[in-house]
Every structure is written in structure tokens, then in C-alpha cells.
Amino acid sequence: MSKLTLSMAEKVIAAAFAKGAELKLKPLTVAVLDAGGHLVALSRQDGSSIMRPQIASGKAYGALAVGTGTRWLNANAETRPHFVQALNGASGGAIVPVPGGVLIREGDGGEVLGAVGISGDTSDNDEAAAVAGIEAIGKTSDCG
């Protein structure tokens, strides 16, 4: 059901970790979800805290949920918090609405292949690592 292969997900994770090393980020957890919102691969670096898998997955899921990166959800959380809270409830708590959840698109505005969610450092740095991961497979990032 997914065009996002495990081989692609592994490359995304490796490139995100490389970006984290380059920027000297804290230990990261990276989740790669297919277009249906299901995990393809997840890796948690040594020292990344215990809820990072849910946070990383929740960012990626949030991006898929609304069809754009979680930067959009983060902005909405300020302008209309009731909407973001409702999304949280409707998803059974599966959405984490801060930057770091980035859609993987086939070209600008193109088909959604999946999403990357990263947690561990600041939300901005998490997002930068996600973008680096998506670049590594030649796809387009949608940060929201």
C-alpha cells in the first residue's frame, strides 16, 4: 500500500542522524511513516528518552493527518487551540503538533509518500534533521 520502501526509510534515518551529528544535536529518535500513517522504520539513538518514539511518531502522524508539516499545526495551536485539541482527541492522542513532522512529497505539492517525525533536540533542529533525511532520497519536504 505504500510507495515508501523500507530501503528509502533507512536512508532517511541515516541522513537525519548524519545531520544530527553535523549540528551536534542531542540524541534523536526518527520515525518514518508511510502514506497511511503506519511505521515503516524507527530508530532511537542511545540516550534518547523513553517517550521519544511516541513523540516522533506523533509528529509524523500529525503531518499526515492534516496534509502538511507540523509547523502548520504549531501555528494553529496558537490561533485556534480548540482545533488542535480536538485533533488530539479525535486521534486518540496520536498527534504531536510542534515542528519536526515533515511530509515526504513527490515534488512541490506532489503526491504524499509518507512523513518523517523527529524528536530529541529543539523542534527547529528536529525539523532540520528531517529535511536532511528527505533530501537524501531526492524527495521534497513539506514542513507546513
Site residues for its own copies per CB under 8 A: 1-2, 5-6, 9-10, 34-51, 53-55, 58, 64-67, 74, 77-78, 80-98, 111-112
Measured distance CA(120)–CA(51) in Å, rounded: 10
Q: Cβ 72 to its own copies, closest distance in Å?
A: 11
- Dihedral over Cα of 62, 68, 71, 72: its sign: negative
Alpha-carbon distance values, 142 to 50, 64, 71 (Å): 27, 11, 9
Q: Could you give the 3-state DSSP secondary structure of residue 115?
A: strand
Tell me whether residue 97 or residue 133 sits nearer to its own copies (CB atom): 97
Q: Cβ 22 to its own copies, closest distance in Å?
A: 18
Q: Cβ 133 to its own copies, closest distance in Å?
A: 16
Q: Cβ 74 to its own copies, closest distance in Å?
A: 7
Tell me whether residue 23 or residue 86 sits nearer to its own copies (CB atom): 86
Measured distance CA(37)–CA(115) in Å, rounded: 8
